[in-house]
Amino acid sequence: QVQLVESGGGLVQAGGSLRLSCAASGRTFSLNTMGWFRQAPGQEREFVAAISWSGGRTSYADSVKGRFTISRDNAKNTVYLQMNSLNPEDTAVYYCAAEKTPYVVDRRASEYDYWGQGTQVTVSS
């Protein structure tokens, strides 16, 4: 019903930047909040950032505040994550997620309905 396709991951030096993209297709009219999560080997999937349908509300994990920016372009059904000042602790698989429930900007992975395949981000020291 909904497919999320991510791109933009890769290898970057500490202090560098990457911009992740997530394009949604299918029944996108049902989607509201979209978010980014990440998971490092042996770690639980953790919240990174989320954005409301209008873009008027955003939420960030404390670990990325001031460094990452989430945005979306509804005309393209795409959400972005601009990552600046990357450090090795940011190394993880980054997942795009979408939620059908309206009026929330959820930080809990269990609340999201659709997930992308993930894209690897590796930050070298």
For 48-66, the pLDDT digits (tens) are 999 999 999 999 999 999 9
Is the pLDDT reported for residue 102 higher than 90?
Answer: no
Give the pair of three-digit tokens for residue 53. Answer: 């349908």
Is the pLDDT reported for residue 103 higher than 90?
Answer: no
Q: What are residue 50's phi and psi, to 5 degrees?
A: -145, 160
Quote the CA–CA distance of 89 and 76 in Å, as a whole number: 31
pLDDT tens-digit map of 19-30: 999 999 999 888
The percent of residues above 90 in pLDDT, for the chain, comes to 92
Quote the CA–CA distance of 77 and 22 in Å, as a whole number: 8
CB atoms within 10 A of CB 111: 15
Average confidence (pLDDT) over 31-42? 96
pLDDT of residue 1: 87
